[in-house]
A and B are shown apart, each in its own frame.
Chain A
Amino acid sequence: MVLQDLGRRINAAVSDLTRSANLDEKAFDDMIKEICSALLSADVNVKLVGQLRKSIRAQVSFKDLPTHTNKKRIIQKAVFDQLVALVDPHAEPFKPRKGKPNVIMFVGLQGAGKTTTCTKLARHYQTRGFKACLVCADTFRAGAFDQLKQNATRAKIPFYGNLTQTDPAVVALEGVTRFKKERFEIIIVDTSGRHRQEADLFNEMVQIQKAVQPDQTIMVLDATIGQQAEAQSKAFKETADFGSIIITKTDGSASGGGAISAVAATHTPIVFIGTGEHMLDLEKFQPRTFISRLLGMGDMAGLVEH
């Protein structure tokens, strides 16, 4: 599961240090070293790890600590703070409003899990009393129409797609217009996978966005992504200005450091995580609770609020 291993290693490094008899600067440096290699093994962006190393050093400032202070607590808090900073961009995620149409557009790299997650999210809102529906604006990928349609049917969610129209912006607009007329509250638009290296594909994303004017664009990121996460998510951010991130496939064994780096690179919050291939495999994401649970630091969240 995402970040679990990382959490375990960081946890061990911190408690090794705080339990050791002589809590000196060398031991502190060793701890930082261990934390950094754990982060690098978890695909956290190489540059980001460098920054984090500096921040922990600066926050603790080991040399200047008076001898009697509770070093253990200060070090724990510094590590916790820096990890939270990594996944918590302090931006409020989008909240749909009842009684009006909320258009949500999905974007992301090929195979990230957009189509699967669209239905999960529609269903999430549906069970919370929203009138939800799905629009297939992927006119490129073979079988994309049937994939979304079959999922929508299974979840009993109305679906719009058009097998003869090849322009995704046109289909998207057709679907959104129709569902707005029918007073749907959550209108989710699925789009094809794309990447920054292909300008035409990014252009197409802009066209769809112009056509449907989404209230929220969500970037879907695969938890296994490595060092390309930063460049790709930055490019998507610059072009589509997405307002939230969903990380998928967190049920795999990937540490998720790449996806986490995308959060840091784009200052955009993770709102949900995908935990499996089935419709119900979606969880809300709260950075603080997540990190403290991860580090087994039940009391840390409280400590940080002060």
Chain B
Amino acid sequence: ISGLFRNVVGGKVLTEEDLEKAMKGMEEHLLNKNVAREAAVHLCDSVKLELVGVKTGSFESIDAAIRQAMTSALAKILTPTSTLDLLRSISAANEPSALSRSKSRPYVISIVGVNGVGKSTNLSKLAFFLLQNDLSILIAACDTFRSGAVEQLRVHARNLAELSSREGRGSVELFEKGYGKDAAHIARDAVAYAASKNINVVLIDTAGRRHNDTRLMSNLDNFAELAQPDKIFMVGEALVGSDSVAQARNFNAAFKGKRTLDGFIISKCDTVGDMVGSLVSMVYATRIPVVFLGVGQHYGDLRGLSVEHTVKLLMQ
């Protein structure tokens, strides 16, 4: 009997001491899932605070109580406070209600992030999703720095145009001015061009930038000023470790308080198995929600976030 019930502390009032050791195990568990240490410590502290003085259920072990509390803490942090209905927002910009008295205009989304995380690829996936919804898209090639960045988008635009014409849904065009020019100005021109052609959505690609490069980061502010995007999504990588916290914070702060990021696209989720912790780290750092997950290298590999599934992966 004692073996079977060793860990059972039915109806016990939990003290800080009881929790201390078990929480260490939980912290290590989260670190193993690639949650940044700062975020893991924060989550563990909040769970501990919540549990001290609580009476466990009659056959509930401390571990079970902690798991339960951590499961809800994770679900809580990952659940967005407001829902994003991208398609509805787009149609509101394209066809404003008479009451709002605003003019019809293209909806503008720009994609930012550090080098190589998957900005251009996930922008193309987003374009594919919008095309499936019968929208016309302009892809603006505003990475004027990295070799091949323009050709990369040209290939995507060509592939997507072929797909959409085959299915008779939506249309897509590339707006590019080659290399070396100022990205913010190209972005502004792309939006003006889209407006003149009644294009529904402008997707702006940007060059990868180090979040600790103050010069490149300060360009973002100017960029947002000129292009006036409706949404700025940051692509963050599932592979990245604790740098995720600083990446998210610095990009979120790049707009000098005038605005914030509007959401994260967490890419390369297919490369990490159940180690999906960077999702938690980025949301923890900014309270900005995750709007999409990248789960592969093909156009269809974009998903909405399932909080339940993500928490399950993190807790298993």
Q: Is A109 an interface residue (CB 8 A)?
A: yes
Q: Per-residue 0/1 for A30-59: is the Cβ within 8 Å of any B Cβ (1 yes, 0 no)? A: 000000010011110010000000000000
- Residue in B239, B246, B275 with the greatest tally of chain A CB atoms within 10 Å: B239
**CB contact under 8 A between A110 and B268, given known A227-B32, A253-B246, A258-B241:** yes
- Cβ B114 vs Cβ A252 within 8 A: yes
Q: Which of A8-16, A98-106, A140-148, A292-300 contacts B (4 or more CB under 8 A)?
A: A140-148
- Cβ B241 vs Cβ A227 within 8 A: yes
**Residues of B with C-beta under 8 A to A151:** 147
Q: Which of A67-75, A173-181, A202-210, A218-226 contacts B (4 or more CB under 8 A)?
A: A218-226
- Cβ B147 vs Cβ A147 within 8 A: yes
Of chain B, the residue at the smallest CB distance from A249 is B115
Of chain A, the residue at the smallest CB distance from B40 is A40
**Residues of A with C-beta under 8 A to B278:** 226
**Residues of A with C-beta under 8 A to B247:** 224
CA of A113 to CA of B210, assembled, Å: 14
B interface residues (Cβ-Cβ under 8 A, vs A):
28, 31-34, 36-38, 114-118, 120, 124, 145-156, 159, 210-212, 237, 239-244, 246-247, 268, 270-273, 275, 277-278, 297
Given contacts A147-B149, A228-B34, A252-B211, 18 further A-B contacts (CB under 8 A): A110-B118, A111-B268, A115-B148, A143-B149, A143-B151, A146-B151, A147-B147, A150-B147, A150-B148, A195-B270, A197-B273, A222-B116, A222-B240, A224-B241, A226-B244, A227-B277, A228-B275, A253-B243
- Residue in B115, B146, B241 with the greatest tally of chain A CB atoms within 10 Å: B241
**Contacts A/B (CB < 8 Å), 19 sampled:** A43-B243, A46-B28, A110-B118, A110-B268, A111-B237, A112-B116, A140-B297, A143-B155, A147-B147, A147-B151, A154-B147, A195-B271, A196-B271, A224-B247, A225-B239, A227-B32, A229-B241, A249-B116, A249-B210
CA of A199 to CA of B38, assembled, Å: 34
- Cβ B37 vs Cβ A252 within 8 A: no
CA of A306 to CA of B230, assembled, Å: 64
Total residue contacts A-B, CB cutoff 8 A: 143
CA of A217 to CA of B257, assembled, Å: 47
**CB contact under 8 A between A226 and B151, given known A110-B118, A113-B116:** no
A200 CB → nearest B CB, Å: 11
A233 CB → nearest B CB, Å: 12
Q: Is A255 an interface residue (CB 8 A)?
A: yes
- Residue in A144, A195, A231, A232 with the greatest tally of chain B CB atoms within 10 Å: A195
- Cβ A40 vs Cβ B115 within 8 A: no
**Residues of B with C-beta under 8 A to A253:** 210-212, 243, 246
Q: Is A283 an interface residue (CB 8 A)?
A: no
Pick the contact of B242 from A43, A113, A228 — CB < 8 Å?
Answer: A43
CA of A228 to CA of B276, assembled, Å: 10
CA of A46 to CA of B118, assembled, Å: 27
- Cβ B153 vs Cβ A143 within 8 A: yes
**Residues of A with C-beta under 8 A to B271:** 109-110, 195-197, 228, 232
Of chain B, the residue at the smallest CB distance from A119 is B147
**Residues of B with C-beta under 8 A to A113:** 115-116
Q: Per-residue 0/1 for A134-171: is the Cβ within 8 Å of any B Cβ (1 yes, 0 no)? A: 00000011111111111100100000000000000000
CA of A225 to CA of B238, assembled, Å: 9
Pick the contact of A197 from B147, B151, B270 — CB < 8 Å?
Answer: B270
Pick the contact of A37 from B37, B145, B150 — CB < 8 Å?
Answer: B37
- Cβ B152 vs Cβ A143 within 8 A: yes
- Residue in A43, A196, A228, A232 with the greatest tally of chain B CB atoms within 10 Å: A228
Of chain B, the residue at the smallest CB distance from A252 is B210
- Cβ A252 vs Cβ B38 within 8 A: no
CA of A94 to CA of B272, assembled, Å: 30
B27 CB → nearest A CB, Å: 9
Q: Which of A253-267 contact B (CB under 8 A)?
A: 253-255, 257-258
Of chain B, the residue at the smallest CB distance from A144 is B148
CA of A93 to CA of B31, assembled, Å: 32
B283 CB → nearest A CB, Å: 16
- Cβ A226 vs Cβ B275 within 8 A: yes
Of chain B, the residue at the smallest CB distance from A41 is B37
CA of A143 to CA of B156, assembled, Å: 9
**Residues of A with C-beta under 8 A to B151:** 142-143, 145-147
**Residues of B with C-beta under 8 A to A37:** 37
- Cβ A142 vs Cβ B239 within 8 A: no
B90 CB → nearest A CB, Å: 25
A56 CB → nearest B CB, Å: 19
**CB contact under 8 A between A225 and B240, given known A41-B38, A111-B116, A147-B152:** yes
Of chain B, the residue at the smallest CB distance from A195 is B271
- Cβ B146 vs Cβ A277 within 8 A: yes
**Residues of A with C-beta under 8 A to B116:** 110-113, 222, 249
- Residue in A224, A229, A251 with the greatest tally of chain B CB atoms within 10 Å: A224
Pick the contact of A224 from B31, B156, B240, B277 — CB < 8 Å?
Answer: B240
**CB contact under 8 A between A148 and B148, given known A227-B33, A249-B115:** yes
- Cβ A40 vs Cβ B31 within 8 A: yes
